[in-house]
């Protein structure tokens, strides 16, 4: 379902006079439970022949290349593919053929009308306890194995999972149980059922009878789809159709059920659940660290400081039993609660990890600290039972290791929380309150009331005072002002608003008072959908992350083997006197020296840093992109964009403004313009093409009415990429380009050829009109270039990116436009499927191709390209097909998107350098390679501190992306927006 959400581009008009109305693009939409104009069908195919993730990706890509596809998910384990598509654009057979064209056998299993069968749902789950990529991979595999789960993504950085599932086969409770069975804590954040669901808190003397009465009162309300009672929380969950009812109606029903007995308001939002979970986790680690520190500092002092103070040293060396000293007893008592109470989380994590057949960071920590602790216990017990044994304990190693690791985890979680600040800022844009107006039948205000903004319903009239935030998506019904939309679109210049203009919730009213009518509320709003798009993007894994996933499978077992090998090598070397005795510190023997080397190797290795290298950078990068007006749909798009070395631009609406106007008319028959344009407009009014709309708009000049009734057109036919045919007043009308006239065997006179050539030379599109088989006139239509287009092409050249223009327009016009902007390669008169073919040809030549377009006919090329970029003013289909959405519709954002992706991947490489550097350099040093030549060894507690620092450094490195600034070259361009002077501005 493609909801039409409004995002904006501003005008170049000065501040004081109101500028012409802006053109408002659509935004990507998400499935919801309300009826829309477009209907969708869900089909499930059996796919035979897939053997790996690359095969599944190939099938998914082949399906998504088709126009009208809303969602395509491939289940490799069950050899299934689920496709949600619009029957208006294609059928099941076309999809099946596309799968077979990819090289696999496909059989249609089921087809359902999605509007009648809400079987496919999405749930998001919070997961506690993940420490590295082996954890996330284990959960992902467990979820994929559930019958009915179509797709599952688990993100380590956000500690969340997003699962697409068939509600007829499995429910979200079973999915939660599957996560918990793998040894992790899971809680539901949201499900597909929540899209139009409101939770209300009911206060009062509630019992089973009153709850039942309230439920029955709500269920009979028009538009209510379902009511759930949660008596333990005094909570009522209501699913509803927002077109028919809303939360204010529900509150009124509840409070009127037994007047005076009940009060209702919106339940505290569960959207804060993730923040609450993260804050609680931060508090837990902070408390654990402080408690650990309380015990560790005395241990550190007694073992490394006080031993050098003569009086205190004598006390600590006092014998308690045989050779057991008071200092050893004190350290043992202090360290034990750190090891087993404060450090129990590492035992728990290790057990759960080993139970599911894998090993994570907790295993390394548990082994390292246990080795130090239990060897120390052995040393203490032997000293207590011997009159000659002089043992050395490593209690400080165990305690300091746990303290440093807890500190590192605390800092890591704090830093990770900041990576999602972009989403938090977006979510906080909505105002807390709104001024609701009551109108009489004549539209006069009879009252106003300040309400919670979450109680705004569709068709409410809201008052927006100067300086206030717009409470809901809607359109202006009274007043005029300028609205600052930079927080949504990234566009700094305030946009003029007057009657009929749309506005977005969360934007700021600068000057005058506005009254708006709410059209989209709750999860339908532009802001909500942008938040969901960014959240979804942050869930998606970049292909480069597979590198870390592969390493994580073998990392911990390899480290354990390396640690054992290190201990054994040093122990045997000491046993057989392979090194001088002088190398052994006076406080230990050869066994203890070897043990310290082994423990250091075990605790310095950090799989967490590798796992966080990519997702944290992708999270920050996509969040920064959203604030810049560039919506990047996930890590795949971000990774592909940084490799782009060739950009294919559509012409109309991309390089040009996309609002063409008729600039001249040449009649070749004895007919007045009014009569000529009546016939032409009657034929073109049925077409959605921008050129057709320009002609119809121009034809209105010859009629007095604002919306004239044109003559009836029979047998209308739209010929994609060529023009239209129709019968008007018993006359056959053909309107289109030269190719159409050749196909229709209509002779083009020399005079018409000359007019076409002249128009093309002036970068205008020439349109032929024939009446009853004879050319009756030639129209010249001009579509002005977007501001700054030549400069953008020049900057791309300096970035070593080749620019190509592809258009369905004629070669002459295309060449003129290309020359004007500085593009040397032009492909003209291309049909939609030909655009996609040209993109594939460029890919075959070795280019990484980005396609920039805005129309339905660009969708195949957008999907075929390595990176599809949809101009924000484009159609829903184009935006759905694209990987990146440029919300401001400015070409400068093409450069911003590519530059941001390059900066992000530069950061990812730097993260991998840090993560691998710590391990590749740290492990050999911890193993003692420098000890023979320098005498330097890395004590286990320092190794533990280095391991903790590696994760923190990677996250902080990603956080530096928050300070991203677009290229300075763009700041010198004057591309504030788009202004069109034409007769169509009055629309």
Q: How many CB atoms lie within 10 A of CB 924?
A: 16
* Assigned token pair, 239: 């699913």
Residues 6 or more apart in contact with residue 682 via CB below 8 angstroms: 710, 711, 712, 713, 726, 728, 729, 733
Residue whose entry in the numeric block shows the structure tokens 């837990």: 284
Name which of 969, 670, 943 is nearest 799 in CA terms.
Answer: 969
What values do phi and psi take at 43, rounded to 5? Answer: -125, 140
C-alpha to C-alpha distance for 269 and 190, rounded to whole angstroms: 11
C-alpha to C-alpha distance for 725 and 718, rounded to whole angstroms: 7
Residue whose entry in the numeric block shows the structure tokens 């450090």: 343
* Assigned token pair, 816: 């003129």
What values do phi and psi take at 667, rounded to 5? Answer: -90, 135
3-class DSSP state of 772: coil
CB 277, CB 188: distance < 8 Å: no
What's the number of CA atoms in the CB half-sphere (13 Å) around residue 784?
A: 11
Dihedral of CA atoms 868, 871, 872, 878 in degrees, nearest 10, equals: -50
C-alpha to C-alpha distance for 312 and 344, rounded to whole angstroms: 33
Element (H, E) at 878: helix 876-881
Q: How many CB atoms lie within 10 A of CB 773?
A: 12
3-class DSSP state of 460: coil
* Assigned token pair, 882: 């694209």
Residue 800 Cα to chain centre, angstroms? 28
DSSP assignment of 103-117 equals T-EEEEEEEEETTT-
* Assigned token pair, 303: 């073992």
Name which of 818, 201, 764 is nearest 452 in CA terms.
Answer: 201
What's the number of CA atoms in the CB half-sphere (13 Å) around residue 248?
A: 15
Name which of 67, 65, 60 is nearest 83 in CA terms.
Answer: 60
Radius of gyration in angstroms for the set of CA atoms belonging to the chain, rounded to a whole number: 34
CB 567, CB 595: distance < 8 Å: yes
Element (H, E) at 197: strand 197-204
Catalytic residue (one of 393, 460, 549, 650): 650
* Assigned token pair, 637: 């798009």
Give whole-number Cα distances, 483 to 18, 423, 469, 516, in Å: 11, 22, 9, 13
C-alpha to C-alpha distance for 257 and 200, rounded to whole angstroms: 15
Give whole-number Cα distances, 320 to 14, 295, 305, 334, 378, in Å: 88, 22, 21, 17, 16
Let me know if 650 is a catalytic residue.
yes
3-class DSSP state of 70: strand
What is the side-by-side order of every strand in the sheet holding 481-484? 495-497, 481-484, 508-509
Crossing angle (nearest 10°) for helices 395-419 and 940-959: 0
Name which of 899, 647, 694 is nearest 789 in CA terms.
Answer: 647
3-class DSSP state of 12: coil
Give whole-number Cα distances, 790 to 313, 339, 656, 785, 809, in Å: 80, 66, 11, 9, 19
- The answer for 928, left when phi > 0, alpha when psi is -120 to 50, beta otherwise, is left
3-class DSSP state of 790: helix
CB 650, CB 821: distance < 8 Å: no
Q: Which residues carry out catalysis?
A: 650
């Amino acid at each position: 379902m493609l909801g039409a959400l409004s995002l904006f581009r501003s005008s170049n008009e000065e501040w004081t006079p109101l500028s012409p109305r802006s053109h408002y693009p659509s935004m990507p939409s998400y499935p919801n439970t309300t009826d829309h104009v477009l209907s969708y069908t869900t089909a499930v195919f059996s796919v035979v022949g897939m053997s790996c993730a690359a095969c599944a990706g190939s099938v998914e890509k082949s399906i998504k290349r088709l126009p009208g596809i809303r969602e395509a998910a491939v289940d490799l384990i069950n050899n299934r593919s689920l496709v949600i598509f619009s029957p208006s654009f294609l059928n099941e057979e076309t999809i099946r053929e596309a799968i077979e064209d990819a090289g696999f056998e496909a059989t249609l299993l089921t087809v359902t009308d999605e509007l009648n069968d809400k079987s496919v749902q999405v749930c998001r789950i919070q997961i506690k306890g993940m420490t590295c990529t082996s954890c996330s991979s284990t959960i992902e595999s467990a979820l994929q194995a559930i019958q009915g789960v179509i797709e599952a993504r688990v993100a380590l950085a956000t500690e969340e999972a997003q699962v697409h599932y068939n509600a007829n086969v499995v429910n979200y409770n079973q999915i939660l149980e599957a996560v918990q069975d793998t040894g992790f804590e899971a809680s539901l954040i949201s499900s597909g059922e929540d899209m139009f669901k409101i939770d209300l808190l009911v206060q009062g003397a509630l019992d089973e009878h009153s709850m039942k009465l309230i439920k029955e009162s709500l269920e009979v309300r028009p538009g209510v789809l379902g009511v759930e009672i949660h008596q333990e929380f005094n909570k009522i969950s209501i699913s509803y159709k927002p077109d028919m009812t809303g939360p204010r109606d529900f509150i009124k029903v509840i409070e009127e059920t037994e007047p005076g007995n009940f009060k209702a308001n919106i339940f505290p939002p569960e959207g804060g659940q993730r923040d609450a979970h993260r804050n609680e986790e931060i508090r837990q680690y902070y408390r654990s660290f402080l408690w650990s520190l309380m015990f560790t500092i005395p241990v550190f002092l007694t073992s490394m400081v006080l031993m050098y103070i003569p009086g205190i040293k004598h006390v600590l060396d006092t014998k308690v039993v045989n050779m057991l000293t008071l200092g050893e007893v004190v350290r043992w008592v202090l360290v034990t609660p750190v090891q087993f109470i404060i450090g129990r989380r590492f035992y728990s994590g290790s057990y759960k990890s080993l139970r599911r057949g894998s090993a994570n960071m907790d295993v390394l920590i548990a082994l390292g600290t246990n080795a130090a602790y239990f060897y120390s216990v052995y040393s203490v017990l032997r000293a207590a039972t011997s009159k000659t044994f002089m043992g050395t304990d490593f209690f400080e190693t165990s305690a300091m290791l746990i303290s440093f690791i807890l500190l590192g985890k605390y800092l890591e979680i704090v830093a990770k929380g900041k990576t999602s600040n972009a989403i938090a800022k977006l979510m906080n844009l909505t105002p807390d309150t709104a001024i609701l107006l009551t109108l009489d039948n004549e539209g006069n205000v009879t009252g106003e009331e300040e309400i919670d903004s979450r109680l705004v319903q569709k068709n409410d009239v809201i008052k927006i005072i100067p300086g206030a935030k717009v409470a809901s998506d809607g359109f202006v019904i009274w007043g005029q002002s300028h609205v600052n939309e930079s927080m949504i679109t990234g566009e700094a210049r305030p946009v003029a608003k007057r009657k009929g203009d749309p506005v977005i919730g969360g934007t700021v009213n600068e000057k005058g008072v506005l009254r708006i009518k709410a059209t989209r509320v709750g999860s339908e709003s532009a802001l909500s959908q942008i938040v969901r798009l960014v959240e979804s993007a942050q869930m998606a894994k970049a292909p480069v992350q597979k590198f870390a996933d592969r390493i994580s499978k073998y990392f911990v077992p390899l480290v354990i083997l390396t640690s054992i090998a290190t201990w054994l090598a040093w122990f045997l070397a000491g046993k057989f006197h392979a090194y001088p005795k002088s190398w052994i510190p006076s406080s230990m023997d050869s066994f203890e020296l070897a043990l310290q080397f082994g423990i250091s190797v075990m605790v310095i290795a950090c799989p967490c840093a590798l796992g966080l290298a990519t997702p944290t950078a992708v999270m920050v990068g996509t969040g920064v992109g959203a604030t810049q007006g560039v919506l990047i749909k996930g890590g795949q798009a971000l990774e592909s964009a940084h490799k782009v070395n060739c950009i294919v631009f559509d012409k109309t609406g991309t390089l040009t403004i996309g609002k063409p106007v008729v600039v001249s008319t040449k009649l070749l028959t004895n007919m007045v313009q009014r009569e000529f344009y009546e016939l032409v407009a009657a034929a073109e009014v049925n077409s959605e093409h921008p050129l057709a709309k320009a002609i119809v708009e121009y034809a209105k000049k010859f009629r007095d009415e604002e919306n004239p009734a044109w003559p009836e057109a029979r047998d209308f036919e739209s010929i994609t990429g060529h023009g239209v045919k129709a019968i008007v007043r018993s006359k056959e009308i053909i309107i289109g380009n030269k190719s159409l006239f050749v196909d229709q065997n209509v002779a083009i006179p020399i005079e018409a050829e000359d007019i076409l050539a002249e128009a093309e030379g002036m970068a205008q599109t020439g349109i032929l009109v024939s009446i009853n088989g004879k050319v009756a006139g030639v129209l010249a239509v001009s579509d002005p270039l977007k501001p700054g287009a030549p400069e953008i092409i020049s900057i791309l050249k300096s970035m070593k990116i080749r620019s190509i223009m592809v258009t369905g327009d004629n070669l002459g016009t295309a060449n003129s436009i290309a020359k004007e902007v500085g593009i040397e390669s032009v492909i003209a008169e291309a049909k939609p499927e030909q655009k996609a073919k040209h993109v594939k040809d460029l890919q075959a030549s070795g280019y990484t191709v980005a396609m920039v377009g805005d129309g339905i006919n660009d969708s195949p090329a957008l999907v075929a390209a390595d990176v599809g970029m949809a101009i924000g003013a484009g159609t829903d289909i184009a935006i759905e097909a694209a990987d990146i959405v440029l919300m401001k519709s400015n070409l400068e954002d093409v450069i911003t998107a590519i530059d941001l992706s390059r900066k992000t991947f530069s950061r990812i490489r730097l993260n991998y350098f840090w993560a691998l550097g710590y391990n590749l350099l740290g492990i050999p040093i911890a193993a003692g390679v420098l000890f023979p030549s320098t005498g330097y060894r890395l004590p286990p507690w320092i190794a533990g501190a280095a391991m903790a620092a590696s994760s923190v450094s990677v996250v902080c490195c990603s956080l530096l992306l928050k300070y991203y600034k677009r290229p300075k070259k763009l700041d010198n361009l004057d591309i504030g927006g788009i202004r069109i002077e034409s007769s169509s501005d009055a629309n």
